[in-house]
Amino acid sequence: MGQEHSARGVVSGKLSLGKAIERLEEIVQSLEREEPELEEALRLFDEGMELIRAAERQISESEGRLKQVLVDRRGRQRHVDFEPPEQ
């Protein structure tokens, strides 16, 4: 199901924070409720920890873009930098 790649996805920026947290919640739930075999539990734990580290990195380090969408005469969208108005 590609779950093994999820943590790596966050690191490379391919996986959204939302997806990472969704997967993390799944992992916590299955660890808490499904009582998996020890080997599976360890695997889930490792994946979860990697997701947490990646999510924390994204929260702390990445900076979102702020753009204004302009539409030209042909209806094509163009993104230009946007500066919010001063107070």
Partner 1 sequence: MRHDLFDQVANTRALAREQVPQVWSVSQVNALARELLEGAFPPLWVAGEVSGFKRYPSGHCYFTLKDGTGQLNCVMWREAARALPAEPPEGMAVHVFGYLTIYQRAGRFQLVARELMARGEGLWRIAFERARKKLEAEGLLDPERKRPLPAYPSCVGVATSVEGAAVRDIVSIIRRRAPWTHILIYPTRVQGEGAAESIVAALRQAGRAARADVLIVGRGGGSAEDLRAFNDEAVARAIARSPLPVISAVGHETDVTLADLVADCRAPTPSAAAEITVPDQERLRSELANAGERMATALLNGVTRGVQRVERLEQQLLKAMGDALQRHRLVIGGLRHRLQALGPMEVLRRGYALALDDRGRVLRGVADFTLRSRFVLRLRDGRVQARTESVSEEV
Binding-site ranges for partner 1 (CB under 8 A) = 16-18, 21, 24-25, 27-28, 31-32, 35-36, 38, 41-42, 44-45, 48-49, 52, 55-56, 58-59, 62-71, 77, 79, 82, 84-85, 87
Q: Shortest gap between Cβ of 8 and partner 1 (angstroms)?
A: 17
Q: With respect to partner 1, which residue has the nearer C-beta, 3 or 68?
A: 68
Q: Tell me if 31 sits within 8 A of 11, measured CB to CB.
A: no
Nearest to 8 by CA among 43, 42, 58, 50: 50
Q: Tell me if 24 sits within 8 A of 46, measured CB to CB.
A: no
